[in-house]
Amino acid sequence: MDRIELGGFLRSRRARLQPADVGLEPGPRRQTPGLRRTEVALLAGISPDYYVRLEQGRGPHPSDQVLTALGRALRLTGDEHAYLLRLARPAPPPRPHPVPANVLRLLDRLGDVPAMVLDAAYDLVAWNGMLAALIGDPATWPPRKRNRLRRLFDPADTITGNRLELARLCVADLRAGGRYPADPAVRELVDELLGESPEFARLWAEREVVVPRTLTKRTTHPIAGPLELDCEILAIPGHEHRLLIYTAAPGTASAEGLRRLRAG
């Protein structure tokens, strides 16, 4: 059990709640940001001392019943509650596997839209021709440049119009995976970005947890022009990989831009 991260996550979720959010009176002389520890313990039906020890990283392994009660008390989302369970019941990271052959065949069939496969550390491991047309051919890049999270925190990236929005979402997704610090590739990526990017360090410290299923990317391409693309993120069952497919709403300037991209 990652006691340090568990305690930090509980503190961060407690700090974002106000007494009124959970039906409590604020009371006089409130100096604590968010709820008090005693208030969380009351809401969860556990002793204040037990909750304090959990936040301080010295508590015992909490039962499923306690974790569920804490999730309700702290108003956790479904993604946040799943993350809390992973912190308390960590599983070893799965062994890396190649991208399944059927997914590679699907990429080839998606000739009209950009599509790619990312691993758990945000490394770009497979892509189709339309993605290469959109962002350049990753086969010509050094492996380090193929990491999409590094790209989001690269000050030289000036073409992603909603870079900050995507960066926040992807950091929350990286944490939600629960693979830090056990997965060496994820640990190396996080430690590197913590040392190089104050922006990443700030977002990582917020401990936001979100598993994105869709997102919107805004960018400008020299041939396609300004693009607003909807991205569907599809988990590949039994694998760490995810398939990302970019589309544009029919009849929009972005759809016409993708058509020009296909035409070359």
Helix, strand or coil, per DSSP, at residue 212: coil
Residue 33 has pLDDT above 90, yes or no: no
Residue 178 has pLDDT above 80, yes or no: yes
Of residues 73 and 159, more confidently modeled: 73
Alpha helix positions (H), 1-62: 3-15, 37-44, 48-55
pLDDT at position 23 is 87
pLDDT at position 127 is 97
Q: Identify residue 181 by its one-letter amino acid code.
A: P
CA gap 24, 14 in Å, rounded? 14
Of the listed ranges 92-106, 127-141, 154-168, the least confidently predicted one is: 154-168
Q: Identify residue 162 by its one-letter amino acid code.
A: N
Q: Identify residue 32 by its one-letter amino acid code.
A: T
Residue 5's nearest CA partner among 121, 71, 84 is: 84
pLDDT at position 65 is 95
Predicted confidence (pLDDT) per residue in 233-257, tens digit: 999 988 889 999 999 999 999 999 9
The rounded Cα 45 to chain-centroid distance in angstroms is 31
The size of the chain, in residues, is 264
pLDDT at position 158 is 63
Residue 88 has pLDDT above 70, yes or no: yes
Q: Which residues of 165-191 are buried (b: 16+ CB within 10 A; e: fewer)?
A: ebbbbbbbbbbbbbbbeebebbeebbe
Mean of the per-residue pLDDT values for the chain? Answer: 91
Task: Give the percent of the chain with pLDDT over 90.
Answer: 76
Helix, strand or coil, per DSSP, at residue 96: coil
Residue 102's nearest CA partner among 248, 243, 253, 261 is: 243
Query: What sign for the dihedral angle of Cα 14, 18, 23, 24?
Result: positive
Of the listed ranges 89-98, 130-139, 203-212, 233-242, the least confidently predicted one is: 89-98
Residue 145 has pLDDT above 70, yes or no: yes
Q: Domains in the chain, please, with CATH?
A: 3-88 (1.10.260.40), 101-263 (3.30.450.180)
Of the listed ranges 42-46, 152-156, 206-210, the least confidently predicted one is: 152-156
CA gap 94, 96 in Å, rounded? 6
Check if the beta carbon of residue 195 is closer than 8 Å to that of residue 188. no
Q: Which residues of 31-59 are buried (b: 16+ CB within 10 A; e: fewer)?
A: eeebbbbebbbbbbebeeeebbebbeeeb
pLDDT at position 160 is 67
